[in-house]
Each structure stands twice: as C-alpha cells, then as structure tokens.
A and B are shown apart, each in its own frame.
Chain A
C-alpha cells in the first residue's frame, strides 16, 4: 500500500500526462478540422474578426495619442512657451526703456516711466502665467524664485538711478548700468532657462503629435487584414461557386474605409500641427528673438554712450547682437525672419522690418561717427530724433506679426483638434459592423455543410 503522499503525486503525474494527451488530441483535431472546408472557414472568420478588433484597437490608440498631443500643445505647452517668451521680451524691453530714456534726456524716466512700469507689471503677470500653466519642475520653481528675489534689487537700482539723474549726478548712470547688469546676468538668464525648458516640452509634444509610426502600423495591420479577406473571398468563390460573398465584401469595404478615414483624420491633424508649428510656434519664437535682440542692440548703444570713460563692454555686446541679427553672409536672424514673413504672405511686413532695421544699423554708424568727431550732443540728439523712430517702427511690425503668428497658431490648432469621443464611436461601430458582416457572410456557407 503506497503512502497517501505517493498516491497523490502519482495522480498528479497521471493527470499531467492526460492533459498533455488531451491538448495533443485537440490540436490534431484542430488541424484536422482546418483541413476540412467548413473548419477552414470558421478559422478564417475568427482570424478576420480578431484582425478587425486589432484594427480598431490600433486606430483608437493612434487617435488618442494624436488627440492628447494636440490638446497638450494647445492648452499647455504653447501657452507656457508664449508666457516665457513674453516675460523675456517684456523684461528686455524694460531694460532698454530705462537705458534709452536716459540717453534721450529722459533720465528721470518721466516719459518712459509708463512703458517701463507697464513692462514690469505685464512681465510679472506672465511669470504668474508660467507658474499656472507650466508643469512645475524643480528647475522652473528655482528660476521663478530667483527672478522674484532679483526683481526688487533691479527696480531699486533703477529708482536710485532716477533720483540721482534728477539731480544731475553722474552716479545715476552707474546705478543704471548696474541695474542693467542685474537684469542681464540674473533675471534674463533665469527667464531664458524657463523659456528653453518650455520650448523643449513644446518640441517634444510636436514630435509625438507628428509621429508617423502609429498611422503606419494602423495602415499595415488594416492592409494585412484586407489582403487576407480578399484572398479568403477568392478561395470562397472557388469553393462555393458563388462569385461574391456579399457579407465579406461589405466587411472588407467597411474595414478599409475605417482605416482610410482614421488615416485621413490623422494626416489632416499632422498637416495642421505641422503648420501650427512652422507658422505659429516657430514663427512666434523667431519673431520674439528678433524683437528681443533689436531692443537689446538699442539698449547697448545707449549704455555704451552713457558708459564712456568706464571701460565697459556694451559696444562689444552691440557688435555681438548685431552679428546675430544680420549674420555673416545674409544668414542672420533678420533674413530668416523676412523669409518666414514672406512665406506667410506678409511680404510687406518683411520689407518694412528689414528697411527699418538696416536704417537702425546705418544710423548707429552715423552716431558713432558723430561721437568720434566730438559731436556728442548731436550724436545723442540723433539717437532720439532719427534712430529711435526707426527702431520703434521695426518693433511695431514685429509686435503685429507676433500677434498674427499667434492667431495662425490658434487657427491651425483648431483645425488640428478633433473630438476623441466622436472618433471612439465611429471606430467601435465600424468594427462591430465589420464583425457582424463577417459572421453574416460566413454563416450561410457553413450551413450548407450541415
């Protein structure tokens, strides 16, 4: 008599053996049945139904990926990027306003104060916008905190510069230079870090939104399924002596139509995303950079005129900024922006902007010449009388085009966005209809074998 444990283990071994045998029998049964015509029909129908489900699932995954990317770009990534870009532009503008006012005899910022303080007010509002929209990373938090710490230092230095200027004290110019340095060495780099991080997120969102991998997988799966179903129908036609299986034909058409519709939707989405990126986001970034650099060049010129006798590097900074704007062989930001403006049909703006900025650079040379010839007062009069209006005109064009590129972004994104729920319904209904048609097409043929 074996012990219970032994008998148990024996039973288990026997049962495992039995299971294996059963599976083998079933498999051979399946292959045997697949060799018969009705068995093969059933098998192919199951494969076609599973394929339809696979097409539906792929379509849903692709549509949701596109939808999520589109929504993220529209409601989070681009707004954050624009907030950061605006903050950078406004802070540079405040810096330039204070400097240019100083050189044009408004060192007390009587006339410039409205623009200077509205720049700072709006810039802080844009920072609040970043805090609201940006998915807060530790880097962004740290930079926002740094800006909040440095901003009172900056405004304090500007106010001290004002009160000294009011009394005609040259130390006012030193305060202004230090204010500008605080802006340029602490605040602006912190804003730029945020700007770049947000632009990076936007770039990733576009990348995933524009990815062609999903639609390609969908098309391949659908093409494979359609091919399988067409081949099956040729086989059925020979086996059943009927030219068409209406159910399967309709199912093929439905599946193909579904795949084509979804592909069409994603292609249209990609097309609009691409134009939102090129004509909206990229153009906004490009135009903002041009505006920021033009304003910086103007501030540099003023600070260089103020800082004579002090050995400061504002003239070098001007040259650096000018070379970035003009480029060595017409490859700078100005020709690039002009190119973009012409592509969006704003050739007029491109011309005006180019003419005004080259007039600015010509005037800069005239002013340097006057200064070298010892006509310092004339040089200063020329900055406010002749040069400043050209810069203002160029900036007005850029501001207008920045607004226009934002509008193009919004329009393209509206065209790119679609209702995920509506497409869920279309895909699921399409798939259900496809499966039903497959079943409806094969059942009468199977009945003939009974």
Chain B
C-alpha cells in the first residue's frame, strides 16, 4: 500500500512538472506585424559627401566653338554623334518635372513644358527637322543624378537649370551659357522686408545641396537656414508660414510666383538685388565634343533669329515686369581672355 501511494505521488509531481512547459505561441501574427514597421523615406536628399574643390584657370563657362554654320538636318556630318541620335530615332533629354516655367510635367496636358524643354526642342529640331516631335524623349532626373546620367549615356543632353561651375566641368562638357540666372529671395506679398537684412533671425528656405548654402553665409548671415530636399518643398514651407523667404535662382522663383500670386521677389525686378550669378548650361557627355559644338551652333542661331527672346517672353513675361534680358554672349575656349 505504501509503495503504491509513493508511486502515485511520483506520478503527480512529474505530471505537474511536465505541464509547466506549455507550448509558447509561435508569433506568426507578431512577425507579420513587424513587416509593417518601415522607416519612411525622408524628404531630405541623402547627405552628399563634401565635394573636393577642384580649381579652374580662367573662365570655366567658356565652351567649344561651332565647326561652322549649323548643318541642315539632312546634312549632319558623317560619323557624328548627331547621326547616332538620328539613327536611333530620338534625342534623350534629362529634365526636371516639378519646376514650373523651366521644366515641368503638366498633368492636364500630359506634356513636359517650360523654357528648358523648349531649348532642348530647338536641338531636336536641328537634328530631325520638321518631324522633330517624334524625335525627342524626356527622362525626368533626380537633381543629384543629372551629371552622372549624361556622363553614363543614359541621356544625350541635360536641360535642367544646371549651373556651370568648376567642379561640374570636370564631370561633363557644357554648352555656352543659355540663361544667366541670379539668386534672389522670394517672400510673401504681405512681407515688409525690403532687403535681405530685414530677414535677420527669420527662417529662410533653400534646397539642401544647392549653391544657395554658400550664398546664405554671404548675403543672409543672420537668417536661419531651413533646408528641404526638393525645390517645390520651399514653396510649401512659405505657404504654410514655416519660413519667411525662399533663397533660390530667380528662374526657379519665377515659377513659384506663377503658382502663388501672394508672393513677390525681395527687391522686385531691380537687378541690383541679385545675390549671385548662376550661368545655366546644357550638359553633354565630355566625349561628345562634336555634339557640344552642334548645340552651341543651335544657340548661336537662336540669337540671330530672335528665337531666344521669343521663348523668354513665352515663359517669363507674365511674371517678370521688365523687358527681356539679352541672350548671354557666347564665349569660346579658343577665345583670348
């Protein structure tokens, strides 16, 4: 009897111990929930490594001289890059799609539109003649990709408010200056600011990675920089009263003026209020020297035909209350001085 009782006791203890190890949940619900935890994309562009400052001797905006008058579309020189483009059937142009008046995708017309787009179209016309409309395709590029895209041949030409600077001339070849922009400050219409000094201690927006950061130190040293990833984000910040001004190129600010009638340029159309010179050039792969000369010939022809002024009026006369500027003069590498 005692032995039997002891057996029962042993059975009880072992069963209780065994029950202690009940199966844990397999956590399938939790694992499918964990998949939803994604760090969202941030609006600020990835931090760019500090660029090495290369040095340039003389005027780095000078470009290659055209080999003569612009050839007719049917007469493109044999073996030239223009022939390659023509054989392919279309010119690939890298553009922006959010900068009104310069380069933007109009969701209503489903077309790319703007001054930069029209300049690129002039190049397409020179290659394809009357059938140029089928001869041009646009690739919307990230701002940071513009020069690698053209250097790697993803596009033939970049027409995207690209300021010619010394570092960039080491990566790609530029055409002659086709637009001379200047940095300015855009403010709300009801702002009482008259000069940059009036924005002392106030937040001013700029695109991170743009040349505006340098201008900040010189012209707006006591304003508070508010850096965003995209150009249009600055207009949002201004409209939502997160900033009191936007520091950017006037060509870009004109597009913002066109989208918001309750804004104005600090100092109005007075060119003495320009904070910097931003010479825009069309970027071409450094190996396609013949194409650079060809593009420069297109720009020369626009000067003689008055097409450049015509395009400027088309895009900017509604927002700029001043006569059109002159097309920037051509300056060539073989030119003295």
Binds B, one of A124-132, A142-150, A211-219: A211-219
Cβ–Cβ contact B230 & A310, under 8 A: yes
Does B222 have its Cβ within 8 Å of any Cβ on chain A? no
Cβ–Cβ contact B106 & A168, under 8 A: yes
Binds A, one of B21-29, B58-66, B181-189: B21-29
Which residues of B lie under 8 Å from residue A211 when comparing CB positions? Answer: 22
Does B32 have its Cβ within 8 Å of any Cβ on chain A? yes
Cβ–Cβ contact B25 & A227, under 8 A: no
Chain A: interface residue total (CB-CB under 8 A): 80
Report which of B15, B92, B99, B105 forms a contact with A219, defined as CB distance below 8 A.
Answer: B15
Which residues of A lie under 8 Å from residue B105 when comparing CB positions? Answer: 170, 376
Does B284 have its Cβ within 8 Å of any Cβ on chain A? no
Docked pose: A371 CA to B141 CA in angstroms: 10
Q: Knowing A107-B107, A289-B35 are in contact, say whether A311-B142 is a contact too (CB < 8 A).
A: yes
Cβ–Cβ contact A375 & B259, under 8 A: no
Which residues of B lie under 8 Å from residue A207 when comparing CB positions? Answer: 24-25
Binds A, one of B3-11, B195-203, B273-281: B3-11
Q: Knowing A192-B36, A309-B143 are in contact, say whether A213-B19 is a contact too (CB < 8 A).
A: yes
Cβ–Cβ contact B140 & A308, under 8 A: yes
Minimum Cβ distance to chain B for residue A103 (Å): 9
Report which of A168, A210, A316 forms a contact with B41, defined as CB distance below 8 A.
Answer: A316
User: Which residues 306-361 of A sit at the B interface, judged by CB distance below 8 A?
Assistant: 307-314, 316-317, 320-321, 324, 333, 336
Cβ–Cβ contact A228 & B25, under 8 A: no
Which residues of B lie under 8 Å from residue A165 when comparing CB positions? Answer: 107
Cβ–Cβ contact B43 & A312, under 8 A: yes
Which residues of A lie under 8 Å from residue B69 when comparing CB positions? Answer: none
Minimum Cβ distance to chain A for residue B226 (Å): 14
Which residues of A lie under 8 Å from residue B90 when comparing CB positions? Answer: 374
User: Which residues 249-281 of B sit at the A interface, judged by CB distance below 8 A?
Assistant: 255-256, 259-260
Which residues of A lie under 8 Å from residue B293 when comparing CB positions? Answer: none
Report which of B36, B45, B259 forms a contact with A170, defined as CB distance below 8 A.
Answer: B259
User: Which residues 101-116 of A sit at the B interface, judged by CB distance below 8 A?
Assistant: 102, 105, 107
- Nearest CB to that of B38 among chain A residues? A320
Cβ–Cβ contact B137 & A374, under 8 A: yes
Docked pose: A403 CA to B38 CA in angstroms: 26
Which residues of B lie under 8 Å from residue A171 when comparing CB positions? Answer: 100, 232, 235-236, 239, 256, 259-260
Which residues of B lie under 8 Å from residue A320 when comparing CB positions? Answer: 38
Report which of A203, A376, A380 forms a contact with B29, defined as CB distance below 8 A.
Answer: A203
Does A231 have its Cβ within 8 Å of any Cβ on chain B? yes
Docked pose: A120 CA to B47 CA in angstroms: 35
- Nearest CB to that of B9 among chain A residues? A224
Q: Knowing A199-B30, A203-B27, A228-B5 are in contact, say whether A313-B232 is a contact too (CB < 8 A).
A: no
- Nearest CB to that of A204 among chain B residues? B25
Which residues of B lie under 8 Å from residue A277 when comparing CB positions? Answer: 25
Does B336 have its Cβ within 8 Å of any Cβ on chain A? no
Cβ–Cβ contact B140 & A376, under 8 A: yes
Cβ–Cβ contact B32 & A310, under 8 A: no
Docked pose: A372 CA to B153 CA in angstroms: 11
Does B244 have its Cβ within 8 Å of any Cβ on chain A? no
Does A275 have its Cβ within 8 Å of any Cβ on chain B? no
Residue among A174, A211, A281, A320 with most chain B CB within 10 A:
A174
Residue among A173, A206, A316 with most chain B CB within 10 A:
A173
User: Which residues 168-205 of A sit at the B interface, judged by CB distance below 8 A?
Assistant: 168-171, 173-175, 177-178, 181, 184-185, 192, 195-196, 199-200, 202-203
User: Which residues 36-72 of B sit at the A interface, judged by CB distance below 8 A?
Assistant: 36-38, 40-43, 45-46
Does B304 have its Cβ within 8 Å of any Cβ on chain A? no
Q: Knowing A107-B107, A192-B36, A195-B33 are in contact, say whether A170-B98 is a contact too (CB < 8 A).
A: yes
Docked pose: A165 CA to B98 CA in angstroms: 12
Q: Knowing A212-B22, A309-B98 are in contact, say whether A199-B8 is a contact too (CB < 8 A).
A: no
- Nearest CB to that of B258 among chain A residues? A169
Cβ–Cβ contact B19 & A212, under 8 A: yes
The bracket for how many chain B residues form the interface is 35 or more
Does B231 have its Cβ within 8 Å of any Cβ on chain A? yes
Cβ–Cβ contact B235 & A174, under 8 A: yes
Does A365 have its Cβ within 8 Å of any Cβ on chain B? no
Q: Knowing A170-B99, A312-B229 are in contact, say whether A293-B137 is a contact too (CB < 8 A).
A: no
Cβ–Cβ contact B41 & A314, under 8 A: yes
Cβ–Cβ contact B40 & A310, under 8 A: no
Which residues of B lie under 8 Å from residue A192 when comparing CB positions? Answer: 33, 36-37
Which residues of A lie under 8 Å from residue B23 when comparing CB positions? Answer: 210, 212
Cβ–Cβ contact B11 & A224, under 8 A: yes
Cβ–Cβ contact A308 & B142, under 8 A: yes
Interface string of B124-158 (1 = CB under 8 A from A): 00000000000001111111100000000011000
Residue among B35, B231, B259 with most chain A CB within 10 A:
B35
Does B300 have its Cβ within 8 Å of any Cβ on chain A? no
Docked pose: A433 CA to B106 CA in angstroms: 87
Minimum Cβ distance to chain B for residue A383 (Å): 13
Docked pose: A223 CA to B19 CA in angstroms: 15
Cβ–Cβ contact B32 & A289, under 8 A: yes
Which residues of B lie under 8 Å from residue A174 when comparing CB positions? Answer: 98, 230, 232-233, 235-236
Does B291 have its Cβ within 8 Å of any Cβ on chain A? no
Does B164 have its Cβ within 8 Å of any Cβ on chain A? no
Does B16 have its Cβ within 8 Å of any Cβ on chain A? yes
Q: Knowing A164-B259, A174-B233 are in contact, say whether A308-B16 is a contact too (CB < 8 A).
A: no
Residue among B45, B93, B98, B233 with most chain A CB within 10 A:
B98
Docked pose: A292 CA to B36 CA in angstroms: 8
Cβ–Cβ contact A333 & B24, under 8 A: no
Q: Knowing A224-B12, A374-B92 are in contact, say whether A312-B236 is a contact too (CB < 8 A).
A: no
Docked pose: A66 CA to B231 CA in angstroms: 61
Docked pose: A168 CA to B112 CA in angstroms: 12
Does A377 have its Cβ within 8 Å of any Cβ on chain B? yes
Cβ–Cβ contact A309 & B97, under 8 A: yes
- Nearest CB to that of B18 among chain A residues? A216
- Nearest CB to that of B103 among chain A residues? A309
Q: List 14 A-B contacts (CB under 8 A).
A: A168-B109, A171-B235, A171-B260, A177-B233, A181-B43, A210-B22, A210-B23, A219-B15, A286-B29, A308-B98, A311-B142, A312-B230, A372-B139, A376-B139
Taking A212-B22, A316-B41 as known contacts, 13 extra A-B pairs with beta carbons closer than 8 A to each other, sorted by chain A number, are: A170-B105, A171-B239, A196-B33, A199-B30, A210-B25, A289-B32, A292-B36, A308-B140, A310-B232, A312-B41, A313-B41, A374-B93, A376-B97
- For the complex of A and B, 10 pairs with smallest distance between CB atoms: A374-B137, A313-B41, A216-B19, A310-B230, A308-B140, A311-B45, A174-B232, A309-B96, A220-B15, A184-B40
